[in-house]
Chain A
């Protein structure tokens, strides 16, 4: 029933997308909506595009799993737009480039550099798109019991058809519409929840008690193979079989198994998660591994641990600098008519995002009180959608579940639209230049590939993938943009070597860490959150290599031109 809530969102997306068809004539129309978008509309579109499933569902889930410190993630996301405003927005727009690889070629005149950039766009696009489609599948499974692949295929088809029809012009209106939709569908249920839970639960949310005993008979469906530690012998019913007594000690709960714990049983600890309500959970700092890799092996967290500060800083660096280098966000600034309105767009976006990010804390804190068992099953991402029916099992709860499902679907549609557009641009505009007709077909092919990648990824750790996309963006495009815009001595070779080093040290190291497995401690933190060292490394490499060579002729002119405002006689190059 609640799944029907998705239908209006999908229909509205397609209808608004169809509106863009009439107006679309050129590559520029398709990729950047002919650059006529006003700052406020564009800021709504940027926010709509940026607020993905990770923001709508993920942050609240991280609070349940990792504690109040997880609220630093949205702070980093928002700070990214301050960086964008300060360093990138206006000059980037003035290059007249259509895509990020275009910017690289416009600034340094190297087709090779352009192709490297296009490849990086593909890497970031895949790391970011797969989790969006995965989330679509999981949410539909949760609320409607639909098979996982249905959600993935529906998301893939709607996004690619909208894009193929309307291109960026369609995407702009769709995303602006979806920002308002998401804000409403997120804020209204949050307020309702706060009122409906009553003073007792509100008080417990603000004075959390460690989750040590199950209050009622609680079924837990493990979504991943999970290492748990039973602190005392416990009698559980596994997959509906006869209750069995398990001795204290470490065990592995298999993915897909369903454990039913009796009321009053001790809650097992989970490796990689902080027990909701524990003192470590309440500290407003990020513990070493709650970003994905594993806090203390016993899951106790370490409130006084020295890594909490380091962990918080590295998340802030990765999210803020990564936001600045996300290709699908950068391309949005090219839809502004000039540099000045691109800068205004960034400023307004900081305010829009700041408003939205006031609400995940509500879901996270209430979820930790009402649904703490999610931290066991590894499905904390569903806390937002699961809360209303926990608070009110009646039709009102159903209604709000439906609203939140629609909002979550809007979130991955909007983000996927932008990402798919950036990926299509990289393939059909930068790697294999083609006609407009080819460009319109590319999203269909790209979406098909992503759907195929997402189908076997049902049980992948979604948060880790998105985090790695940010780290890659921060270690590659961020130095390219900052140095390209502000430093005249940047050379083509410097940019090539620096970005390659950044790509290897971020994506490569994280892949190695995933394969090899990570223990606790500082080395693991630096492998799981490489941005803290990979970004400085990429910057240093880029500068060092550039200093050994001579910049291409005219590079200083190319850089200075980016800082000339449009109020003057010299028109910005288009």
Chain B
């Protein structure tokens, strides 16, 4: 998991650890959080972000509906079917298994499914494969002070 993710190497200021200690000690307040709004997204990059957000939202909503349906529905089933307390699997009441064991594989499965779909959105949008929009690969521009440091 390299943090530069294959980007071209960029120039960085090299400082010895001692200097950094000294600077950190007297620089006063630490760096504030970046203002995200400082760099406006424009043009193709903005369209691409819009597209990713819309798709991610759609997939997030289906995953949430699935999860919520399961977690709202399971107590409801147990409430409406008290007979499940008497049904036993390997000696354990099925209704106990439904609380103590069943939710975990289901939740893990949902998490895995949603992870794959969310990453697929980003891959798809990055390739421009599902976009029909070649501009997104080259036309990125950003405004004001946040110059594209890592642009190849």
Contact = CB atoms under 8 A, between A and B. Distances in A.
Interface string B89-126: 00111011011110111011011101100110011011
A215 B7 CA distance: 71
A435 B22 CA distance: 11
| A interface majority secondary structure | helix
A562 interface: yes
B134 interface: no
B63 A86 contact: yes
A106 B103 contact: no
Contact of B100 (A83, A350, A358): A358
Contacts of A320: 71
A75 B35 contact: no
Contact of B30 (A36, A68, A103, A436): A436
A285 interface: yes
Contacts of A434: 29
B57 A486 contact: yes
A495 to B, nearest CB: 14
| B interface majority secondary structure | helix
Contacts of A95: 33-34, 36
A279 B59 CA distance: 42
Contact of A85 (B17, B50, B78, B111): B111
Contact of B64 (A83, A553, A568, A574): A83
Interface string A335-354: 00110110110110011001
A284 B39 contact: no
A72 B75 contact: yes
Contact of A86 (B31, B64, B92, B146): B64
Nearest to B152: A569
Residue of B104, B108, B111, B112 contacting most chain A CB atoms (<10 Å): B111
A570 B111 contact: no
A558 B36 contact: yes
Given A434-B29, A563-B56, A206 B91 contact: yes
Residue of A38, A102, A558, A574 contacting most chain B CB atoms (<10 Å): A558
Chain A residues touching B, range = 35 or more
A405 B52 CA distance: 48
A564 B76 contact: no
A107 interface: yes
Contacts of A554: 36-38, 40
Given A313-B72, A316-B71, A358-B100, A560 B46 contact: yes
A96 B35 CA distance: 9
A206 B111 CA distance: 31
B105 A564 contact: no
11 contacts: A25-B21, A27-B31, A75-B99, A82-B63, A83-B64, A86-B118, A283-B95, A285-B79, A358-B104, A436-B30, A565-B126
Interface of A: 25-28, 35-36, 38-39, 68-69, 71-72, 75-76, 78-79, 81-83, 85-87, 90, 95-98, 102-103, 105-107, 109, 203, 206, 282-285, 308-309, 312-313, 316, 320, 337-338, 340-341, 343-344, 346-347, 350-351, 354-355, 357-358, 361, 429, 433-437, 439, 486, 552-555, 557-571, 573-574
